[in-house]
Structures are given as structure tokens and as C-alpha cells.
Amino acid sequence: MEFGAVNITGFKILQTNSAEFRQFANFWRKADNKRQLGGDDHISADAALMYDGTKVILDAFNRMLNKDPNLFRNNFRRGEVYNNDSRGIDCRGAFRWEHGEKIIAGLKATSIKGLTGQISFDEHGFRHNFSIDIVKMTINSEMTKIAQWSEKEGISLVPAKYYRIPTDSQILNKTFIVTSILEEPYLMLKKAEKGVEAEGNNRFEGYCKDLADLISQKLGINYELKLVNDSKYGAMDSQSDSGWNGMIGELIRKEADLAIAPLTITSARERVIDFTKPFMSLGISIMIKKPVKKNPGIFSFMNPLSSEIWMCIILSYVGVSVVMFLVSRFSPHEWRYEETLTGPSITNDFSLYNSLWFSLGAIMQQSCDVCPRSVSGRIVGGVWWFFTLIVISSYTANLAAFLTVERMVTPINSADDLSKQTEVEYGVLRDSSTQEFFRRSKISVYVHMWEFMNSRPHVFVDSYREGINRVRESKGKYAFLIESTQNDYVNERLPCDTMKVGRNLDAKGYGVATPLQSPLR
């Protein structure tokens, strides 16, 4: 099993160092597959436990028969099984087998050594006094014991064994050519100090430079770092002698011994060169121009509540006013008898206009000259006051949040949003693994995106810097599909005018590349 940059820990119940296991392994290795199915150098934990279980049953019955050879004589007659002088074994609880308790006692008394270590049972029939090894994978893809668990002592740590990477004679006393590409923050030209001129590998700095130094130190080799001639990562190129350009082509043509760069591991590249396990995990992400703050409009005061709620409030206002008008018309308590110069008159304060004014005053939390005097009118007014209290409280709370939180409108939130529109163009780095991803993808969304980009060749860029600058200068009309690590790095750097949206489109990794069959692989 191969792995990289991953701590793999497991449990092992097989006691491979015991004499019982070695004896069984010798037989199992020589076993005839036709007679013993599965004969091989290895045995699974399930098979080992089954073997030990069978061994426990045989040991228990052997001890019982040695003690009493005639124990089962009356139970087997002319090929039939009898229990308590009755043919057959009744599995119901009221008719237990007459030797059942003896067999259980014999199994509990078992104490043998098997493939999984010491096998013994407590009074309840549970296995005890056994141990389990805790193992982990080494750099050589081997399992090494780091601790042991037992029922009595718990976990006991085993002193760690340190492995040194073997050094091949082919890599000693040799200077290797390492090809890379200028890309922040992986590899950058170091700013020269006054009066000091940087030479050789000291001209560079960055993540890949530090990684190259670490590899050189671990393997005890020398290296010379150089930039790729055509400033490309590597893609198929029919015009190149090796069929590939960029760093991949230099490795194929043996112009370089190593490629230490943000070089994505792909199946197409692995056919022509070798990769180490990923030293960094990432995925394709979307970079867009960070939207500017939206200026408040004339009707921004309506933002705390949705348009549906505003419509319901207006309808409620009109409805309550009409109900108040009708209730006042039918209730005698709302009518007043007055003597005037022209004679007696009967009036009602709650006309339609006054009813609308009363309801509006409640919404605005203001008083009104007219008030209902009838019981029915006061009930309608009280319900309306309570409703307006809840609405005004909710509106005030949401308004405070809208005033304190800066809202920015993002036109694109995912790859699906990009594929469904044409106003915002999007592109990738030319001759890159990202371009190859969209070219080979069978997912409908990505296929549609590739058709869009392929029909507009101007959306492709020749470098990450060109793509990032295009995002910044496009005023939100261009999105750049870029590796997530690079996206995160640029977004945190001045002038901080770009942002990442949506989740990653895939999952992949950066790896160190070597020519096929290289001693450094």
C-alpha cells in the first residue's frame, strides 16, 4: 500500500511473530488451491478468527471425550441424532439439549494459543487476556508496531523505529537539474540587497525553493534550479519533438531531472513522467472581481421586509379599516345624537376616511382623535394594535441589522451560474491542467463551459498574472478559473479586490515530477 503525507494507523489482531502463526503460514503457503481454497502467503483477520474458532471447538470436544469417551454414545443411533431419548434436537427453550451445559462449560474452560494470540474465556463466555497490536504505515509502505493494547494494562507504547531513506549509488556525487516556473508564492525572484548580487539557487525564494532545499538535504544531493524555457507547465504539443511542451517536455527530453513547481498530477501526464505523492491538495476554483458596496436607494427602507410581507401589511391595513367602518355602522354605541341650530342630527365619528386614519395612526405608533366606543370596535382596534406592535418590532430589529452589515451583491456564486449566462466571460490558463480538465470532462455543466470558452479563444490567458489582472480590470465581466491555493493567496494580498466564490470543481494535488524510471522517483 502506498501513501503520501498521510498518517495511517490501524489495529492488528494477528500475532505474526508467534510460533503458531509461523507454523500455519508454512502450511498455508504450500497449500493446494484446489483442496484448500485461498491458499496464499496472506490470511485475512476474518479467516484467522474463523480458524481459531474451529480450533476452540475441537479442543473443547477433545477434552470432553478424553474425560468421558461414551458421552455422546446414546445421542447418535443409526445415523440419527437423539436428545433425551427423542429423535432430533428441539431448539425450543423448554427442550434443551442434554449436553448443552457441558459443551458450554468445555468451551469456557478452553485455554489455547491461536493465530490471534492467547484464547481463553471468562465466566460469561467473553474472550479475555488477549492483546491487539496498534500499527502504522512507514515510508517504505510497511506496517510497524507502535503500541499494544491489552485488557489488563491498556495501551503500552513501543519505542519508535526511525527509518532512513536509502541513497541510491546513481544519485551520489551528482548535480541534478531542477526545472520550475515563476509563480507566487511557489517560486519568486529574490529581491537583491544593495551591493550584493545573488547567484545560482540563491536568486530564488518561495515554497518550491524551500521544498527543493529539503529534498536535497534529505537525499544528500546537489541541485541546480532553472526556469522552464517556454514558461509553461506542460501540455500535449504536436510541434514539440517530445510531444509535450513546458516542464513536462523538458523531463521527457531529459533536459531536467526534477520538476518542483505547482504542477498538477493528471492521468495524461503520468503516462509520460513519474510523480511523487501529492505535497499539496487543491482544486479548481472561481475567482471574480470583489463587488463594490451597493449604495442605498430611495426605497432601501423597505429592504428589511420582503415585498410579500409589505403587500400583506397594506392589504391588512385596508381590510381592518373597512371592518372598523362596518362595525361602527352596525353598533348603536358609535352613533351620537346632537342638537344643532338646524335641528337634531345623528353622527358617527368612524367614517371611511376616519377608519383609514385610525388604522394608519396605529401603524405609525401615533394617537388619533377618534377612538372606538363599542365593544366590537375596541376588539378590532386592540387586535390591530397588537399586530402593528409585532410588525414594528420586527422591522426595527431587521433595519438595525441592514444598517450595520455591509451588503455586497455577488453576480456569480457557482460554476452552474457561470454556465447559465453569457454576460460574464470566463477562462483558464492556456496549456494547463485546468484546460485539460474542461476539455476531457463529461459532466454537462463543464462540457457547456468548455464549449463557451472554446468558442471565444480570447478568454484564455498565457499566465496566472495575466488572468488575475484581467479579473481586476474587467469590472466584474470576467471570471478566472484557477487553482484554489493560488486563488486564496491572491485574495489575501493587496489590493484585496478579488474573491473566491463557490466550492472547488474537483480535487487534485501538486506533485514533484521526474522522468520515467528515474532513480529519484
Annotated binding site for L-glutamate: 262, 264, 269, 433-434, 483
Instruction: Give the integer Cα–Cα distance in Å for 181 and 226.
Output: 8
Terminal-to-terminal C-alpha distance of the chain:
16
Q: Is the peptide bond before 372 cis (omega within 30 degrees of 0)?
A: no
Per DSSP bridges, beta strands 425-427 and 478-483 are parallel
What 3-state DSSP class applies to 481?
strand
Q: What is the identity of the amino acid at 189?
A: L
Instruction: Give the integer Cα–Cα distance in Å for 457 and 472.
Output: 20
Instruction: Give the integer Cα–Cα distance in Å for 352 and 328.
Output: 10
Give the three cell numbers for residue 19.
510460533
- What residue numbers does the annotated binding site cover? 262, 264, 269, 433-434, 483
Cβ neighbour number for residue 39 with a 10 Å cutoff = 15
Q: Is the dihedral of CA 297, 302, 306, 310 positive or negative?
A: negative
Instruction: Give the integer Cα–Cα distance in Å for 352 and 474.
Output: 57
Q: Which of 361, 363, 415 is nearest to 391 (CA)?
A: 363
Counting every residue written for the chain, the total comes to 521
Per DSSP bridges, beta strands 143-150 and 154-157 are antiparallel
Compute CA distances 55 → 98, 107, 223, whole Å. Answer: 23, 11, 60
